Structure formats: C-alpha cells, structure tokens
C-alpha cells in the first residue's frame, strides 16, 4: 500500500548529494523511505513464518525487524551520540510493547471479539523483559550513588552486565527453540495461512530490504542532530519516538497483519520478542561494540526517565498479556500509555537534557 514511498530511496540519495545542507528534508525523506522497506522485510519474514512456525517466525521477524534499530544505533555510536543510542534503545522497547502490541491488539480485537494466545510464552517473554529492566536500573542507581567520578568502574559494570545479558539471551533462545518450544509454537494457525512466496524469493527480498534499510539508516543518523535542531525537537524525543517508530515499521506492519488474521501467538512473538531482543541482545552488543567503534566506551547508566518509561511499559504489558487473552480495549490502553509518554517528552524543553 505504501510502495510508492520507495521512490524516496533514490530521492534521499539525490538530496544528500546535491543539497547536503537541507538536513530536515534529508532526515524526513530517509525516515519515510525506511517504512516501505521495513514493510517488505516484514512480509518476507511472515512468509518464512508460514514455513517455520509461529515461534521461529516471530524470532525471525524480530531479528530482521531490529536490523534497522541496530544499524541506526551503530551509526550513532560511531559518532559518539550516546544519548541518542540510549534513547533509541529505550524507544524501541517502548515502541514494540506499547505501540506495536497495542496496535495489534486493537486491530485484531476490532475484527475478533476476543483473541487467545499461549500464556506461558507471553509470561516467559515478560519475565525476560523484567530482567532487562533490572539490568538497566542497576547502572542508573550505581551512577546516582557513586557519581560521575566513577566513570571507569561504570564501564566495567556495563561490560559485565552486558555479558550476563548476552548469556541469558542465548539461554532464552535455547528455551524458546529447543527445550520449551511448545510454549511458542502457537495453535496451528499458520497452517491456515500457507506461504505464497518461494523460499528463495523470501530470502532475496529479506536481504535486499535489509541492505537498503542499512543505507537509509546511515543517511538518517547523519542528518538526525541538525534536523532535530532545525525542527525544534529535543534529541530525547527524536531518539525515543521518531527513530523508534521508523525502526519498528517492520514489526508494526507484520504484527498488526498477523493479529487481524487471528494469529496472536505470532503477533505477540514479534512485539514482545523484539523488545526482549533489543534489551537483552542489541543493548549489550552495543556496549561491547562501543569498546572499539566509538570515541569512548558507552556505559549502561540510562537516564532515570528512560528507566522509568521502560519499567512502566513492562508493567502494563505484563498486565494485559498475563491471562492469555486480548481485546481491543487492552490495545487502546497500551496505546494510551505510549501517547502519554510521547506528550511528556515532546513538551520537555529542547534545552533540557534528553530524558
């Protein structure tokens, strides 16, 4: 439906080459260009999900859907934009469990009165998210108690916590895909929705979309800071919401589509699985990558407002997914929390520190 936005891919390249000073136009063009690319990426992973099952399909969508966030964060990391990196991590988590899951529950609930999913899988994902929130809270608390003079020890703390999270994420994959895969297998709905693409075509589109998203993401990050200043937006709002919404386009489109087809196990696997992957894999990976990529190592001392936002998101997502059922009102409630957080961040003075 939004394929006409693909024309913005070459337009973005032309703008960057011919008018590099028009940062706002370049940023807007690159952001909109990523949306249809993410949609094609999501469609390709949905086709693969029809062949592999809901659990692996959700993991595939989360992994390739998070490619945009990871690429954007790596580009920002190389430029030393640590606040943007941290805001984009928190924004991606918020976007997935509030915006994506909320939109999926709303769209699915309007078509199907009550939708059911495997409560064991949802609880497992929410527990992993709670673990990730704890991992974010500890460095923030350490920074508040010890103070900025303990910068070196904060880096050591970040690397240690990153290693623990990566091990836990690896064990979580074994839990999902090997020892307890029945919790994430769904109810056989994927048998009703057979693949319409060949395996080769799905992988080809997957690879092509990922490569173009990487290219557009590099352009996006290059124009991010000056564009935010031109538009009068805080870097916190841009990182938390603008970049996150663009990066979550793949998950958003596929999760909503799956929910409308009454495939809630796949839909929640995408939304919650993507948040878990960002928090327990992408975030610690970025900490380790900063040791060699960025001007100086990045710590995990997220600002208190970011930690609070993520904590509240995990809290309400656990409430709505804990009974194995969803409806349109629960979707509205998740979206309402996301809107409230967006309003607060948008109204924060641009001269203030990013959340």
Examine residue 355 and state whether it is found in any structural domain, yes or no: no
- 325: enclosing H helix or E strand: strand 325-326
Identify whether 270 is part of a domain.
yes
Whether 158 maps to a domain, the answer reads yes
Burial of 63 from C-beta contacts in 10 A (0-12 / 13-18 / 19+) = middle
CATH code, 163? 1.20.1420.30
Q: For the chain (length 355 residues), average pLDDT per consecutive 10?
A: 82 91 90 82 74 67 72 80 84 90 94 88 89 88 76 83 93 87 62 67 84 81 80 77 72 80 85 88 91 84 88 92 90 95 82 48
Question: Has residue 352 been placed in a domain?
Answer: no
Considering the domain boundaries, does residue 353 fall inside one? Answer: no
Number of domains in the chain: 1
pLDDT number for residue 242: 79
Residue 354 in any domain: the answer is no
Widest CA span of the chain, in angstroms?
Answer: 59
Q: Which residue range(s) make up the domain with 226?
A: 3-347
- State the burial class of residue 18 (Cβ atoms within 10 Å of its Cβ: 0-12, 13-18, 19+): exposed
CB atoms within 10 A of CB 205: 17
For the stretch 139-197, pLDDT in tens is: 888 888 877 666 668 888 989 999 999 999 999 989 888 888 777 665 555 444 556 78
Within a domain: 255: yes
- pLDDT value of residue 122: 86
Residue 62 φ/ψ, nearest 5 degrees? -60, -45
Query: How many CA atoms, within 13 angstroms, populate the side-chain half-sphere of residue 72?
Result: 36
Model pTM?
A: 0.81
**Residue 203 DSSP code:** H
Query: Is-contact 354 235, C-beta < 8 A?
Result: yes
The answer to whether 313 and 94 have CB atoms below 8 angstroms apart is yes
User: Is 326 part of any domain?
Assistant: yes
Residue carrying structure tokens 């954007």: 72
């Amino acid at each position: 439906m939004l394929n006409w936005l693909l024309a913005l891919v070459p337009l973005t390249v032309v703008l960057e080459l011919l008018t590099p000073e028009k940062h706002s136009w370049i940023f807007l063009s690159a952001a909109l260009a990523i949306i249809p690319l993410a949609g094609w990426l999501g469609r390709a992973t949905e086709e693969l999900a029809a062949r592999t099952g809901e659990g692996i399909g959700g993991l595939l969508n989360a992994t390739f859907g998070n490619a945009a966030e990871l690429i954007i964060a790596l580009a920002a990391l190389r430029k030393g934009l640590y606040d943007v990196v941290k805001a984009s991590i928190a924004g991606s988590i918020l976007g997935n469990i509030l915006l994506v899951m909320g939109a999926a529950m709303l769209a699915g609930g309007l078509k199907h009165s009550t939708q059911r999913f495997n409560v064991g899988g949802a609880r497992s994902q929410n527990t992993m998210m709670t673990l990730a929130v704890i991992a974010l809270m500890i460095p923030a608390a350490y920074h508040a108690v010890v103070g900025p003079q303990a910068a070196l020890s904060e880096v050591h703390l970040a690397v240690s916590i990153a290693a623990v999270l990566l091990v836990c994420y690896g064990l979580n994959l074994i839990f999902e895909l090997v020892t307890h895969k029945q919790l994430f297998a769904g109810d056989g709905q994927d048998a009703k929705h057979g693949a319409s693409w060949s395996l080769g075509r799905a992988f080809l589109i997957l690879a092509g979309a990922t490569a173009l998203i990487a290219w557009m993401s590099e352009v996006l990050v290059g124009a991010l800071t000056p564009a935010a200043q031109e538009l009068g937006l805080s870097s916190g709002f841009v990182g938390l919401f603008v970049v996150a919404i663009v990066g979550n386009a793949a998950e958003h489109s596929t999760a909503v589509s799956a929910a409308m087809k009454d495939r809630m196990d796949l839909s929640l696997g995408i939304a919650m699985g993507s948040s878990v992957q960002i928090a327990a894999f992408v975030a610690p990976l970025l900490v380790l990558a900063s040791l060699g990529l960025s001007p100086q190592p990045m710590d995990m001392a997220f600002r208190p407002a970011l930690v609070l936002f993520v904590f509240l998101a995990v809290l309400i997502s656990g409430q709505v997914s804990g009974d194995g059922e969803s409806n349109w009102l629960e979707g509205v409630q998740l979206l309402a929390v996301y809107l409230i957080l967006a309003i607060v961040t948008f109204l924060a003075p641009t001269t203030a520190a990013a959340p």
